[in-house]
Amino acid sequence: MLKSLAVGLALGAALATSPAMAQGDVKTGETVARTWCSPCHNTNGRGASDVVPSFGYLAAERSERELRAFLTNPHGAMPNIQLSRQQIEDVISYMETLK
């Protein structure tokens, strides 16, 4: 009983202090992805054209740091899409669910 409590506390502390975890909202991220990204990207799986990487691929092959840095600026033929910091976190959180 006491032992499992200690394990639970340790796990909670480890999760709370993990710095690499995106802080976004998965549901909002999914909406952003469907609205802004899906015209070009496969946003719900791994299948992709040769040119545009799928979100499943990106989740597996890129670190959250890399994604964050990349998404800070517009890319491809999407000059009008500038995501807010929060939207970037949301999209990355959603991507991580596709791993």
Name the residues that contact ligand HEC, by CB under 6 A. Answer: 36-37, 39-41, 51-53, 58, 62, 66-67, 70-71, 75-78, 81, 83, 91
Least distance from ligand HEC to the Cβ atom of residue 4, Å? 40
Burial 28-61 (b: 16+ CB within 10 A, else e): bbbebbeebbeeebbbbeeeeeeeebbbbbbbee
Least distance from ligand HEC to the Cβ atom of residue 60, Å? 12
Please say which residue, 7 or 78, places its beta carbon nearer to ligand HEC. 78
Least distance from ligand HEC to the Cβ atom of residue 75, Å? 4
Please say which residue, 12 or 39, places its beta carbon nearer to ligand HEC. 39
Contact status, residue 68 vs residue 90, Cβ threshold 8 Å? no
Compute the distance between CA of residue 66 and CA of residue 56 in angstroms, rounded to an integer. Answer: 15
The structure tokens listed for 83 are: 């995501």
